[in-house]
Each structure stands twice: as structure tokens, then as C-alpha cells.
Amino acid sequence: MNFINEIPRDLLNGMVIIVLSLLIGIEQRKHYADKPENEAFGSDRTFTLIGILGFILYLISPANLLIFWSGAFILSLFLGIYYWQKVKVFNDYGITTILIALITYCLTPLVYTQPGWMVLLIVVAVLILVEVKSRLTAFTAKIDMNEFFTLSKFIILAGIILPLLPSEKILSFLDITPKSIWLSVVVISGISYISYLLNKFVIKKGGITITGILGGIYSSTATTIILSRKSREANGSSEQYARGIILATGAMYLRILALVFIFNFELAIHLTPYILFLSLVSLLTGFLFTKSKYKRAATATGIDYRDRNPLELKFAFLFASLFIVFSIITYFTIQNFGNSGLTILSIVIGVTDIDPFLLNLFQGKYEVTSAIIGAASLQAIASNNLIKLFYTYFLADRKVFWICLKAFLIIIIMNIIAVLLLYYLF
């Protein structure tokens, strides 16, 4: 280690710049391997020399960088001439190679002024973007204009509205603020958005098993309703739909565990064994009760989320409103009826959307112990599981319902046992 400290910094930085420039050049040579030689912009040596040129001109005048930027101007002039010839001769308007050459030239100030991880991140990003050009083009071809609006909505939710909201309490008796409420909206929307993207673009044809898992991360209740309805139209694939519904509940437990860790780390440490156990029970029953043969050809594609976008602003405001309502109801229930009141409330609210209620419990500073908060959370989940079972009764194929009945009874019983353990062992 002392030997490395004795090496001049300029020597080390120069070696790093040469290696990184050479890597970029090698990637460029590979990229142009199948194209005419006279169409390629230089070679791996060219990019290495561009990196060395930037290094030399930076060292000559590091104080004002006048010489460095003069070199950048001259390099840009030559690149402009190359681009004009490229368009004229080959009718190719792409400027990726020119941008990569300029990035290679700018490696030196990056190495000297930014942390190492930032430099490596930029170089790796360049290498990956060049390598995945064809795949990226094919992927973007699948994206319609609505996806850009969806992304814009998430940016509005997380990047514009959230920072502007105040941190003062809305009501004096409740420890909630506009910022904490909207943070809950952003987190829930973000998790649902990730599941939405995975289901729509990455694992679109993964079958009902994958659909159930991703749907559980998005919304296990919505997934249960959709798969139950689809099961009536299926021929000989009831077990697959039952499996998807049960696995959605298993994924739902993992989603809730992630929310606990985000909003109440102390509670999460205590709840982790219980939630992981319940998730494991759900996943195992999903596979064990659907173990018999089924027709592979009947595998379905993912759920169509076109009408269930997770970032609709009206749903965001509805979630925020429910959060406030549940917070007020929870506060007055605890104040007037204590632990038993919270127990009954959690069971009743379980028949509705439980996310606002759970996040209210995770963030609220109520006059109850963590054991009561954890138990109330699991009670709401158990109640919600029971409602999903009713959905399968009214909406699903009969065989799907009977499979789900056995699985959900075990899950709910295990859930109740977990609640009792929390009361007596926490």
C-alpha cells in the first residue's frame, strides 16, 4: 500500500485514462467489425490517442483549462468534418461515435475531479449503450406514447409535488404531514410501477405463475379478480389460474415487508420472521395444491395493465385521502377503545384497500406498542385474504375456487397464529 502511495498521482491517472480509452476503442472496433473499413471512425488506437490528447492538454494548464478546451474545439472541428463526409458518402446521420469520442476526450477532467465510481459508471454506461444498440432499438419500438406520459406522471409525483409539500402537521393530534402522506403515495406508486413495467415489457409472456407473482407486487386483490374472471374462459387450465392467485398473495407479503422496512425499520426487524414465514406458506401452498398435471399449451400471457395504470393521478389523490381518513379513524379508535378497538378496526378495514391503512400504522406514532401495530397489520392482511377468497367464489371457475379455498384457509390460519404469537411473544 505504501508503494502505491509513492507513485505520482499523474502517472496513476494517466494509466487509468489510457486503459479506459482503450476499452472504449475496443468496443468501437467491435461495433464496426461488420461494416466497411472506410466507414469506421478510426480504431481502438484512435480512441486511446484521443484520451491521451485530453490528458496532455489538461496537464499543461489545469488551472484555467484554456488549452484543454482549445483542444476540444479543434477535435470537434475534425469530428464535424468526419460527420459531414459520413452523411455525404454513406447517408448515415448517426452521431453516436462522435459523442463517444468527445466523452473519451473528457475522461481526464472526470478522473481528476470526480470520485472513481462516477468515472467507472460513465465508462460502463458508454460500453453498455454501444453494445445493446439493437436490443435497445427493439425495446423502444415496443413502447407507445402512453408510457412516456406514465413516466412523466411518476416524475411529477416524486420529483415535483413531493419536494414542494410542507412538513408541518395537518392536524395537531396526528403525527402526519402533507410530505409524509405524499411520500406514501410515491412509494406505493413506485413499487406498483416497477411491477407494471416488468409485467408489460420484461416478462410479458412469462405465463400465469410469473403473472401472479408480479401481480401480487402490483396488487394482489386486482390480480385475484382478473385471474378469477379469466379462469372461467380457460379450458383445462384451472390449476394454473389457482396457482397464480395464491402466488399473488405470497408476493403481496413480500411487498408489505418492503413497505415496513421503508417506513418503520424497527417494526420491520420484529415483523420480518412472521411475514417471511407467511409468504413462504403462501408460495408453497401455491405450488403444492397445483402440483397435478395441467396442459402446458394453456399457459396464459401476462395481465393486461393497459386499463390499470398504477400512476393515475386520481388514484394518487384517492390514496392520499384514504390515508388521512384512516389516520383519523385509527387515532380516535385507539383513544376511545384502545387495543381491542384497533383489532376490530383492522379486521373491518381489511375488506377495503389495506395499503393506506398499513402505511398509516407504520408511520403513525400512536399510543400502542409495536406488537399491537404488527398484530393489527397482520389482522388486516388476514381479513383481506378472506375477501380475496370470496372473489374467487363469485368470479372464478369452481375448480379454481376449491383449490384456493384449501390454500387460503391454511394461509389465514397461519396468519392468525402469527398474530397470536405477536401478542404473546413480541
Residue 414: predicted pLDDT: 96
Cα–Cα distance for residue pair 24/184, rounded to 1 Å: 42
Nearest to 399 by CA among 212, 215, 232: 232
174 vs 310, higher pLDDT:
174
Q: Which cell numbers in the block locate residue 138?
A: 427493439
Note whether 151 and 194 are within 8 A (CB). no
Note whether 267 and 370 are within 8 A (CB). yes
Q: Is 191 found in the same domain as 82?
A: no
Cα–Cα distance for residue pair 22/49, rounded to 1 Å: 9
Q: Residue 73 belongs to what domain range?
A: 2-138
Note whether 343 and 375 are within 8 A (CB). yes
Q: Is 399 found in the same domain as 417?
A: yes
Cα–Cα distance for residue pair 105/166, rounded to 1 Å: 44
Compute the chain's Rg from CA coordinates: 29
Q: Is 285 found in the same domain as 336?
A: yes
Residue 388: predicted pLDDT: 94
394 vs 63, higher pLDDT:
394
Q: Is 237 found in the same domain as 117?
A: no
Average pLDDT, the chain: 84
Note whether 153 and 162 are within 8 A (CB). no
Q: How large is the average pLDDT for residues 301-330?
A: 72
**Whether the predicted pLDDT of 246 surpasses 90:** yes
Q: Is 148 found in the same domain as 110?
A: no
Q: Is 166 found in the same domain as 125?
A: no
pLDDT-based confidence at residue 211 (cuts at 50, 70, 90): confident
Pick from 103, 120, 138: which residue ends a domain? Answer: 138
51 vs 211, higher pLDDT:
51
Residue 88: predicted pLDDT: 81
Residue 303: predicted pLDDT: 53
Q: Is 307 found in the same domain as 171?
A: yes
Q: Which cell numbers in the block locate residue 37?
A: 473499413
Cα–Cα distance for residue pair 11/162, rounded to 1 Å: 46
Q: Is 95 found in the same domain as 18?
A: yes
Q: How large is the average pLDDT for residues 117-124?
A: 90
**Whether the predicted pLDDT of 295 surpasses 60:** no
Cα–Cα distance for residue pair 319/323, rounded to 1 Å: 6
* Other beta carbons within 10 Å of 46: 17
pLDDT-based confidence at residue 159 (cuts at 50, 70, 90): confident
Q: Is 149 found in the same domain as 132?
A: no
Number of domains composing the chain: 2
SS3 291: coil
What is the DSSP annotation of 106-158?
A: THHHHHHHS-HHHHHHHHHHHHHHHHTHHHHHHHHHT--HHHHHHHHHHHIII
What is the per-residue pLDDT across 253-282, written as a single tens digit (0 to 9) for each? 999 999 999 999 999 998 999 999 999 999
Cα–Cα distance for residue pair 67/73, rounded to 1 Å: 10
Share above pLDDT 90 across residues of the chain, in percent, rounded to a whole number: 36
**Whether the predicted pLDDT of 133 surpasses 50:** yes
388 class by beta-carbon count within 10 Å (0-12 exposed, 13-18 middle, 19+ buried): buried
Residue 77: predicted pLDDT: 93
pLDDT-based confidence at residue 405 (cuts at 50, 70, 90): very high
Residue 3: predicted pLDDT: 58
What is the per-residue pLDDT across 166-191, written as a single tens digit (0 to 9) for each? 988 888 778 888 998 999 989 988 88
pLDDT-based confidence at residue 57 (cuts at 50, 70, 90): very high
Q: Which residues contact 193 (CB under 8 A, 6 or more apart)?
A: 150, 154, 310, 311
Of 157-161, 359-363, 375-379, the range with the lowest mean pLDDT is: 157-161
Q: Is 150 found in the same domain as 131?
A: no
Of 35-44, 139-148, 175-184, 302-311, the range with the lowest mean pLDDT is: 302-311
**Whether the predicted pLDDT of 306 surpasses 50:** no
Cα–Cα distance for residue pair 146/152, rounded to 1 Å: 10
Cα–Cα distance for residue pair 167/170, rounded to 1 Å: 9
Query: How far is residue 28 from each of residues 44, 46, 51, 320, measured CA to CA in Å?
Result: 7, 10, 14, 50
Residue 284: predicted pLDDT: 94
Residue 58: predicted pLDDT: 93
**Whether the predicted pLDDT of 139 surpasses 90:** no
Pick from 111, 138, 165: which residue ends a domain? Answer: 138
pLDDT-based confidence at residue 192 (cuts at 50, 70, 90): confident
Q: Which cell numbers in the block locate residue 117?
A: 465510481
Q: Is 236 found in the same domain as 187?
A: yes
Q: Is 189 found in the same domain as 111?
A: no
pLDDT-based confidence at residue 294 (cuts at 50, 70, 90): very low
CA-based torsion, 87, 92, 96, 100: positive or negative:
negative
DSSP state of 201: I
Pick from 87, 114, 138: which residue ends a domain? Answer: 138
Residue 297: predicted pLDDT: 38
Of 116-130, 227-241, 319-333, 378-392, the range with the lowest mean pLDDT is: 227-241
122 vs 235, higher pLDDT:
122
Nearest to 267 by CA among 411, 375, 357: 375
pLDDT-based confidence at residue 38 (cuts at 50, 70, 90): low
